[in-house]
Amino acid sequence: MDDLLKEEAQQLMKKNGNVKGEALRTQVEYVRSRKGEDGLKKVLKKMEETGYSLEVEKLKYQHWYPEALDALFILTAKKVFNWGDEDIFDMGKFAPRQSFIVKLSAQYLFSIKNLIKVAPMIWKKHYDFGKLRAELNEEDRKINVVVEDYKIHPVMCKFFEGYFVSVFKFCTKSEKIEIEETKCAFKEDSNHEYVLRW
Ligand SMILES: [Zn+2]
């Protein structure tokens, strides 16, 4: 029994805000693709020990689930496989490539200007809380992405980095994209802010 994880789970589950089952599915797919069915089972079992379980077969893509459950799944996988930040970043990168929601929005992702415009809407399709906005500075080849009213767990900050890089890569076709979280709601700032450069 992992008391630390259990304690963390209890703290997490107090937080409000929901995410589409779609997002949970992509996280499950990531673990499955890297660690196989057995690896996934290990994570689900460990999660169950915290008192909060995820029934993968019953996941409905369009239903809302607590975002805390999503974060708990990621944290549990991190623990089970002894993953570091780069693995969580990689998990974030994987997600939009798998996501129906992002695929459905693909028609809007053909230009950076469009991406900036539809980014808040794509956020809303995934979450029933928080906000995302993006600002483009074409001259400096940079984009600022601000995530407001989202404070579930710091593990998600890394996940988002990977996620944004992946979406941005799709849009720009650029191989060299850098991202940095310059403000973080888990530090002294009120929002999370990321700077993407290409
Ligand atoms: Zn952050």
Ligand 1 centroid distance, CA of 38 (Å): 31
- Superfamily (CATH H level) for 100-197: H-NOX domain (3.90.1520.10)
Q: How many Å apart are CA 32 and CA 122, to the nearest integer?
A: 25
The token pair that represents 196 in the structure block: 């993407």
Residue 1 pLDDT grade (very low, low, confident, very high; cuts 50, 70, 90): low
Q: Residues of the chain with pLDDT > 90: what percent?
A: 79
To the nearest whole number, what is the mean pLDDT of the chain?
Answer: 93
Query: Ligand 1 (ion): which residues have CB within 5 A?
Result: 157, 184, 192
Q: How many Å apart are CA 50 and CA 35, to the nearest integer?
A: 21
State residue 149 phi and psi, 5-degree precision: 55, 40
Ligand 1 centroid distance, CA of 148 (Å): 10
Q: Residues 94-121: pLDDT tens digits?
A: 998 887 777 777 777 778 888 899 899 9
Q: Where are the domains of the chain?
A: 3-95, 100-197
Ligand 1 centroid distance, CA of 14 (Å): 19
Q: Residues 48-67: pLDDT tens digits?
A: 999 999 999 999 999 999 99
Q: Residues 165-194: pLDDT tens digits?
A: 999 888 888 888 999 999 999 999 999 999
Ligand 1 centroid distance, CA of 150 (Å): 9
Ligand 1 centroid distance, CA of 193 (Å): 7
